[in-house]
Amino acid sequence: MKHVIALDVGGTGMKAALLAQDGSVLFEARRPTGREHGTDAVVATILDFAADLADEGRSRFGCAPLAAGVAVPGTIDEKNGIAVFSANLGWRDLPMRRLLGERLGGLPVALGHDVRSGGLAEGRIGAGRGVDRFLFIALGTGIAGAIGIGGRIEAGAHGYGGEIGHVVVRPGGPTCGCGARGCLETLASASAVSRAWAGASGDPAADAAACALAVDAGDERAARIWRAAVEALADGIVLAQSLLDPSTVIVGGGLAESGDTLFTPLRDAVAERLTFQMPPKVVPAMLKDTAASLGAGLLAWDLLSMEVTA
């Protein structure tokens, strides 16, 4: 069975798979990233994991994997295969593609950005399957996004395409980690909702999921916080709709786990704001926390198909 290695390196854990050409998962594994041991140890752990996955493929299917795809967080240079910077994992200008290629005996390696890889998988084999133009938004600690066009992700000229979390929707609003004020992620990320609800409820451990439950239970304070987040998110989506005109907006990440509590008012808030724009379908992501790993595998298959056509 022909297969590729798919690997998603996160701040705390790595998710991996062996992927068939149609995107089906033949084998799955997880391993801690071990960032408490330092950046060199993290890199060694990634390379060891990839080598073990290659062995797994050989013993299961009697043939070596054809390629590997790896998704990493932070800033990356996809073209040159360099993991430029990750605040979480501590590396700078790490030649990830070369290191993995060497460790895997010269195998072709694709390097991808974690959110854009996740968006690619959602668009091709997840919630956006069959959709030509979509926007993927991940509502987590921050808010990240990916622009899907014609079966691939538009990374932009400098690798920052799709950063909808840093669209300013409330000028003069809360200060963002990026230095600006009123960015979408300061208002509608899972962390922002958690912070607001912890403050309002007086329970420092109360999080966004607890806020969603309180909304469902009819709590007025929770409903106000939730509405503010939904309205900010709708403003961001409408801005994106005006610029990109996607047919589908796929929303994932922690906050999307609340299901209809988010999607019902969000669809209404988007619809209220549209004037001439055609309404996008606003749908929940399907692939959950395996999206980036699956997307890394798709990048590996794409790399092989490019080599065939070149």
The minimum distance between CB 183 and Zn ion, in angstroms, equals 3
Range list of β-strands (E), 63-165: 68-72, 75-77, 82-85, 92-94, 109-113, 133-139, 143-149, 152-154
Residue type, 260: D
Strands 4-9 and 68-72: parallel
Residues that bind Zn ion (CB under 5 A): 166, 176, 178, 180, 183
The minimum distance between CB 176 and Zn ion, in angstroms, equals 3
Number of C-alpha atoms within 13 angstroms, CB side, residue 267?
13
Cβ-based nearer residue to Zn ion, 43 or 176: 176
Cβ-based nearer residue to Zn ion, 56 or 185: 185
Strands 68-72 and 109-113: parallel
The minimum distance between CB 97 and Zn ion, in angstroms, equals 29
Cβ-based nearer residue to Zn ion, 47 or 180: 180
Cβ-based nearer residue to Zn ion, 187 or 269: 187
Distance of CA 279 to the CA centre of its chain: 23
The minimum distance between CB 182 and Zn ion, in angstroms, equals 9
Strands 281-284 and 75-77: unpaired
The minimum distance between CB 147 and Zn ion, in angstroms, equals 18
Cβ-based nearer residue to Zn ion, 33 or 194: 194
Cβ-based nearer residue to Zn ion, 15 or 166: 166
Identify which of 136, 126, 162, 139 has the alpha carbon closest to the alpha carbon of residue 247.
Answer: 136
- DSSP assignments along 235-297, one per residue: HHHHHHHHHH--SEEEEESGGGGGTHHHHHHHHHHHHHH-SSSPPPEEEE-SSGGGHHHHHHH
The minimum distance between CB 243 and Zn ion, in angstroms, equals 17
181: DSSP letter = B
